[in-house]
Structure 1
Amino acid sequence: MTITGQPAAPASLGRSRGFNAFWSAQILSVLGDSFAQLAVPLLVLDATGSIATAGLLTGVSGTAAVVAGLFAGVVVDRCDRRALLIGADAARMLLFAVIPLVWWLAPAPPVWPLFVLLPLAAAIGMVFQVAAVTAMRGLVPGAELTRANGRLYAGGALASVVGPALAGAVSGWLGPAGAIAVDAASFGLSAALLTLVRLPRRTAGAAEQGERTGPWAEFLAGARFLLRHPVLRPLTGLLTVFILLTYGMDDVVIYHLKHGLGQSDGTVGLVLAAGAAGTVTGSLAVASLRRRFGFAACWTGAVALTGVAVVALAPTRRPAEVGALLLVYFGCLSVGGICSLSLRQEVTPEHLLGRVTAAFWTIHFSLGGLGAAAFTWLAQHHGTTLTFALAGTGGVAVALAALFTAVRRAAPA
């Protein structure tokens, strides 16, 4: 098998230089992504004045990421994961660096290169994300995976808040192309940090050698593992229903604040910042909560509380009330998400971790777009009160359903 780094056991979280470098690189990657989320639409609007073109570009890039996700697991499980992480960031640096060059050198820059460069960057980004999840097992001991994932979530949440603000400031100073140039530099710095990461030696076991029965079997190996595992099977199903209910909740909350409560854009930003604070708080608290209450109580309780918070949004009439409930909602959302991610990392065999991660994400997000479309339509035509009540009740029902499955075990084997 491929050897990545030096054959050493993972160091504890506090003493792991590799994890600290990895954590910093992840924050830079999230920062770069948040720069692009603002700078790319501004660039398209400056060039064409068409929001439809910007939306089409977002859709094409999202489709490219989903398609890449189908194959990312096989690639990650069969290649040097450290090299993949470094190469993915280096490739994204080059792709994003081309955009400002085209914009600065061409008298009338064409938009079509964006439809090539950005979908490629999105596909490579998906490979990076799958590889990052698998790398965690080699960076920290299994007992510290939940705490390590919490630190990653917290850092990512802060970067996603700071990123758009910085992108707006840089766009005002250097223009959207300048902001994308900074985005490219962030990926280059992330790649440099990842060179400090060393992963343990990976050896080919008998199970892995016997598993190589063909490309199609390798492709389906992750999905088969999820469907056969007594805990991950119901957990994946429950989370897929849960995302159907919650994927479009951000849009519904913004609609409620703008059209229901008549608030300004600045107030909306402050309320969403409270949600980001909840994400950070939940991410930092999840390790202690899981250690004290166990997986089942921690995950089920977090899902139930997200549903209660959404139901409680229905009668809100003041922005402060919405902000307080969003803090609870996003805090519990991060607790549940980190618990489920850590469990998959703990129980999945090393040689399958990439494919299981990719299969889970493909299944998990399959209904997200449908849920977002349905609940935003419901909010527009029948009001946010009914929307919050239905979505929140559904979240509580998901938590109750978990009590009748193997998820109710405190420490699933």
Structure 2
Amino acid sequence: MSLLMLLRRRRILAIWSAQLLSILGDRFYALAIMWLALQRSGPVAMGAVAIAESVPFILIGAFGARLLHRCATFRTLATVDGVRAVLVVAMPVLWNLGGTPAMLAVAATLGALAAIFDPSLAALVPDLVDADERTALVAAMDLNGRIARIAGPALAGVALFAVPVSALFVADTATFAVSVLALLYLASVRATSSAATSVAESTPPGRAASARLLLREHPALSAAFIVQAAGLFFTALPAIGLPLLLAHQIGAGPSAYGSVLTVTGIAGLVGNLTAGRIPPASAFLQRFCLAWALSGALMVATGAAGHLVLVLVFAALSGFVTPFISITLGAQLAAHPQPARLRLITVNHTVMRTAGTAGMAVIPALIASAPARGFIDGGLVLATVAMTAWAITVALEHNPRTRSVRVGTSDINLQTKLSVIGLPFVEPPSL
């Protein structure tokens, strides 16, 4: 299913366009808060902001299953976005009144609200379409994020020629307001797809699912999260080390770095449009691990490249591969029923934040003296982890004691199915 066909539906158009604007606003906010943190409090405050926003994701992901379960309705998420709008527009005022501590407190609160909003929305959106359309919808939601990552900084840069940095907070608040309206609209209409009887205000069925139980019953997902953690840890290599690599190994400057980022972003859009048209695989882990292994190999190639043209080629290939990773895992998680889907998406967000924060903290010190060697070693480790995880999980899935029941293109085990409808699960006797 093409993006245009999806966007002909009012509900999909509402949430897709609202989230596109919201993510654009997030780019405005990120630029504004980092710049003001540097101006008012110095470079240490920039790192403190990133930590303050990331820690709530880890804590809520680990201990907030019940909270997330209660908040997983469109009407509640509209309230969350309304609170975020107020905090964002008040950020400059609160900063002036309370200094850096007040700024960090607001940043942490916004991080906590995002930790509630992001996985909850990702868990609700798949029920807006039928089961066979979920991969296309996951790809569409991934696409608006990629568009915003490219357009957001560019639009913010243009806007700063005419307005002060603090005006970007107001722009972000406006995008939150649009998101609130879209979420309230979704809360007021009834879904017509067979996948969901209603997207109106309701309490999610069943109890909050156990992450430990779900991961134990789905070894493929457990392996995917391990590979995801390794991949996002080493993603700090291109995020931080690429400028060092270009300067030390090639002698290139900021313009070359900008070219690499542009090529990567454009290739990511092309990769998204390609990945969204490929049917989901029954053995999703193979595709997921191969994509991460290829990303690791491209890191190795980038570290060994001695010319800017080669770096651009490898950057384009890496950007093309990245959507296959996010869409493959996203479609697999979307195939699970509520409340298992919400819990698994929360685990994924927790893994992403934890691994990404750890990578940003550790990688700079490891590659400062030898960035090329860091790319090569990190890429080799990532590729090895991806292929090893896939091989181990294939062995586990061929073991009758760990095999799960397959439903369609996803591994939905019998225990999860029974827990969703409130029936007890009795362990079958071993043969």
Alignment TM class, shorter chain as reference: 0.7 to 0.9
Give 2:271's aligned residue: 282
Q: Pick from 102, 118, 126: which aligns with 1:129?
A: 118
Q: 1:34 aligned to 2:27? A: yes
Unaligned runs of 5+ in 1: 1-11, 212-217
Give 1:223's aligned residue: 212
Q: 1:397 aligned to 2:384? A: yes
Q: 1:330 aligned to 2:319? A: yes
Matched to 1:403, the amino acid is A
Change (3 A) 1:278 1:68: same
| C-alpha contact 1:244 1:368 (8 A) present in aligned 2 | yes
Give 2:334's aligned residue: 345
1:54 shift after superposition? 2.7
The two structures have a TM-score, normalised by structure 2, of: 0.80
1:145-224 superposed matches below 5 A: 145-197=134-186, 198=189, 200-201=197-198, 209=206, 211=207, 218=208, 221-224=210-213
1:156 shift after superposition? 0.8
1:291 shift after superposition? 4.7
Q: 1:97 aligned to 2:86? A: no
- Where do 4+ consecutive residues of structure 1 move more than 6 Å? 202-205, 407-410
Choose 61-70 or 174-183, whichever is displaced more.
61-70
Cα deviations across residues 220-272 of structure 1 (Å, max 9, x unaligned)?
71232122223212222232233333344321122212333332223212211
| C-alpha contact 2:48 2:104 (8 A) present in aligned 1 | no
Change (3 A) 1:55 1:14: closer
Matched to 1:70, the amino acid is A
| C-alpha contact 1:86 1:195 (8 A) present in aligned 2 | yes
Give 2:52's aligned residue: 60
Q: 1:357 aligned to 2:345? A: yes
| Structure 1 CA distance for aligned equivalents of residues 231 and 289 of structure 2 | 12
Give 1:261's aligned residue: 250
Secondary structure of 1:19's aligned partner? helix
| Structure 1 CA distance for aligned equivalents of residues 275 and 148 of structure 2 | 19
Give 1:44's aligned residue: 37
Q: Pick from 280, 283, 305: which aligns with 2:294?
A: 305
- RMSD of aligned residue pairs (Cα, Å): 2.9
1:316 shift after superposition? 1.7
Give 1:385's aligned residue: 372
| Structure 1 CA distance for aligned equivalents of residues 179 and 355 of structure 2 | 32
| Structure 2 CA distance for aligned equivalents of residues 157 and 394 of structure 1 | 27
Q: 1:234 aligned to 2:223? A: yes
1:100 shift after superposition? 4.2
The two structures have a TM-score, normalised by structure 1, of: 0.83
| C-alpha contact 1:154 1:281 (8 A) present in aligned 2 | no
| Structure 2 CA distance for aligned equivalents of residues 263 and 64 of structure 1 | 38
Choose 17-26 or 296-305, whichever is displaced more.
296-305
Change (3 A) 1:292 1:47: closer
Matched to 1:351, the amino acid is P
Unaligned runs of 5+ in 2: 192-196, 399-407, 412-431
Percent identity between matched residues is: 21
1:365 shift after superposition? 4.4
Secondary structure of 2:198's aligned partner? coil
Q: Which has the higher contact order (CA 8 A, sep 6+)?
A: 1
How many pairs are equivalent?
A: 386
Q: 1:23 aligned to 2:12? A: no
| Structure 1 CA distance for aligned equivalents of residues 177 and 371 of structure 2 | 43
Choose 182-191 or 166-175, whichever is displaced more.
166-175
Choose 175-184 or 389-398, whichever is displaced more.
389-398
Matched to 1:59, the amino acid is I
| C-alpha contact 2:282 2:409 (8 A) present in aligned 1 | no
1:86 shift after superposition? 1.2
Change (3 A) 1:185 1:248: same
Q: Pick from 65, 79, 87: which aligns with 2:79?
A: 87
| Structure 2 CA distance for aligned equivalents of residues 247 and 139 of structure 1 | 34
Secondary structure of 1:334's aligned partner? helix
Cα deviations across residues 257-314 of structure 1 (Å, max 9, x unaligned)?
2333332223212211111112212221113334589634532332232122111112
| Structure 2 CA distance for aligned equivalents of residues 291 and 355 of structure 1 | 21
Secondary structure of 2:214's aligned partner? helix
1:329 shift after superposition? 1.1
- Normalized per residue, the structure richer in helix is 1
Give 1:5's aligned residue: none
